[in-house]
Chain A
Amino acid sequence: MSLADGVILVLGLALTVAAWAAFAGRGAGQTAVVTAGGEVVARLPLDRPARLAVPGPLGETVVEVRDGAVRFLSSPCTRQICIHSGWLREGGAFAACLPNRVSVRVTALDERYDSINF
């Protein structure tokens, strides 16, 4: 291995590491947008654990962010459909508690398309 080889290897390695740092995990959801009664009440980054109590007509709905995903933790509604939606992590994922008028939507970096099929 010559000096020139070494330089190329180091540059190539740096490029690859930079690509991992810049692009790995991209395309996953970035932010959870929480709305109540049609108004945006919070934008929660998914990489930071958080718990948010959102007031609605029935009482408080609690939204939890953990491990890059968001979910409804508790809600005063009767059917608990929002709770059963489970964790949302992909860009565009959506869940709502209609009785309490609270919804959560995960926004990705780029949302020009609703879906892509190959």
Chain B
Amino acid sequence: MTASISESLVGASARDRQIASLAALAVVVHLAESVLPSPIPGIKPGLANAVVLYALLRHGWEVAAWVGLLRVLVGSLLLGSFLSPGFFLSLGGALASLAMLALVARLPGVTALGLGVAAALAHTAGQFTVAYLWFIPHPGLFALLPAFLTAALVFGAAGGLVVNRLCGRG
């Protein structure tokens, strides 16, 4: 009943509601994660990206892209970091990881494990590209790269394993 009302009022399709609920989930995970302390600023588990992986496997790349970008936008609005350097780093990472997912998802037999690792590494690469081109054009920046890539590898694999478990591919 409510579904048909909302459809007639705002023209929301079933796919819109899927995107909305997954994006809401990703935003909540993003917010919860933002209050966790981190030994190195900028290194986070990136669990919100697991929601993007889930969206990709269940509903396809387009839904995943909506979820990933809405997460960045809404998350930054709620945290008050919209249009701040952190927002652009986040956006750069999200765009890079979505581009990577579009490519890697075509590999035959790939599961969330491989997707998660590739997306997390691409996320880090995207962030460093934005940081280098825009904020800190100094080669010393890349001294941070090994630690960030290692974290991406570990957290990307962990997130992928979680999603594999959720999708029953344990």
A: residues with CB less than 8 A from B are 1-9, 12-13, 15-16, 19-20, 23-27, 109-110, 112-113, 116
The reply to whether B146 and A9 form a contact with Cβ atoms under 8 Å apart is no
Q: How far is the CB of B65 from chain A (nearest CB, A)?
A: 20
* Interface core residue of A2, A5, A7 (most chain B CB under 10 Å): A5
Main secondary structure, interface of B, reads helix
**Also in contact, A13 and B153, with CB within 8 A (given A3-B109, A24-B146):** yes
* Interface core residue of A1, A8, A24, A110 (most chain B CB under 10 Å): A8
CA distance A6 to B108 in the complex (A): 12
Q: How far is the CB of A41 from chain B (nearest CB, A)?
A: 28
The reply to whether B111 and A1 form a contact with Cβ atoms under 8 Å apart is yes
A-B contact pairs, 24 of them (CB 8 A): A1-B113, A2-B111, A2-B114, A4-B110, A4-B114, A7-B107, A8-B104, A8-B110, A9-B117, A12-B117, A12-B121, A16-B149, A19-B145, A23-B143, A23-B145, A24-B143, A25-B143, A26-B140, A26-B143, A27-B139, A109-B139, A110-B140, A113-B138, A116-B138
What A residues does B108 contact at CB under 8 A?
4
Q: How far is the CB of B120 from chain A (nearest CB, A)?
A: 8
A9: nearest residue on chain B (CB-CB)? B117
Size range of the chain B interface in the assembly: 20 to 34
CA distance A23 to B145 in the complex (A): 7
A108: nearest residue on chain B (CB-CB)? B140
Given contacts A7-B114, A8-B118, A13-B153, 14 further A-B contacts (CB under 8 A): A1-B114, A2-B110, A2-B114, A5-B111, A5-B113, A8-B104, A8-B110, A9-B117, A19-B146, A20-B146, A23-B143, A23-B145, A23-B146, A112-B138
What B residues does A109 contact at CB under 8 A?
139
What A residues does B13 contact at CB under 8 A?
none
CA distance A112 to B111 in the complex (A): 45
CA distance A9 to B116 in the complex (A): 10
Count the A-B residue pairs with Cβ separation under 8 angstroms: how many?
A: 75
What A residues does B117 contact at CB under 8 A?
5, 8-9, 12
* Interface core residue of A2, A7, A15, A112 (most chain B CB under 10 Å): A2
The reply to whether B140 and A27 form a contact with Cβ atoms under 8 Å apart is yes
> Does B150 sit within 8 A of A, measured CB to CB?
yes
> Does B22 sit within 8 A of A, measured CB to CB?
no
- The contact string, 1 if C-beta is below 8 Å from chain A, for chain B 140-160, is 101101100110010011000
Q: How far is the CB of A14 from chain B (nearest CB, A)?
A: 11
**Also in contact, A2 and B146, with CB within 8 A (given A26-B140, A113-B138, A116-B138):** no
Q: How far is the CB of A111 from chain B (nearest CB, A)?
A: 11
